[in-house]
Amino acid sequence: MRRQQQGFALVAAIILVVVLAGLSAFVASMVSGQGANQQLERMSRVTDLAARAGLEWGAYRVMRPAAPPACPVATTLTLPGILSMVPVRVTCVRATTPEGAGTVSIYQITATAAFGLNNTSPDYVERTKTAVFSR
């Protein structure tokens, strides 16, 4: 009768090891998934900031008071610091409209920032900001 009890302890130990290994694998997959989500959220914020910076650069080029407006047709910016990871494409479209005795120039500036290899990859992030200015 003693031999039957010794075999039971071995089976219980194997079951315990298998359950603990499964639990460890589950926890590891959850932790790595959260890390990937946090990285994607961080890059989303950085890409949004890069698009805003590109929009502000375009607005400065158009609205600076000391110089004639320069509407960048299509320019790709490399920003400093952490934003250097995200290229920003700034475009500007100029139109004029009559107002009173003169004309007013209207500028539509669009800044698009993109991070990642292409828009089919799971870690691709793109943000576009558009604004209209008149002068």
Structure tokens at 118: 């292409």
User: Is pLDDT above 60 for 1?
Assistant: no
6 phi and psi angles, rounded to 5 deg: -65, -40
Mean pLDDT confidence for 96-123: 90
22 phi and psi angles, rounded to 5 deg: -65, -40
| All structural domains of the chain with their residue ranges | 2-134
pTM of this prediction?
A: 0.72
Give dist(CA 3, CA 77) in Å, integer: 77
Amino acid at 30: M
- Give percent helix, percent strand, percent coil of the chain, each to the nearest 5: 50, 30, 20
Q: Provide the CA 77 distance to its chain's centre, in angstroms.
A: 16
Helix (H) or strand (E) segment spanning residue 7 = helix 2-63
pLDDT, residue 27, reads: 77
Mean pLDDT confidence for 27-41: 74
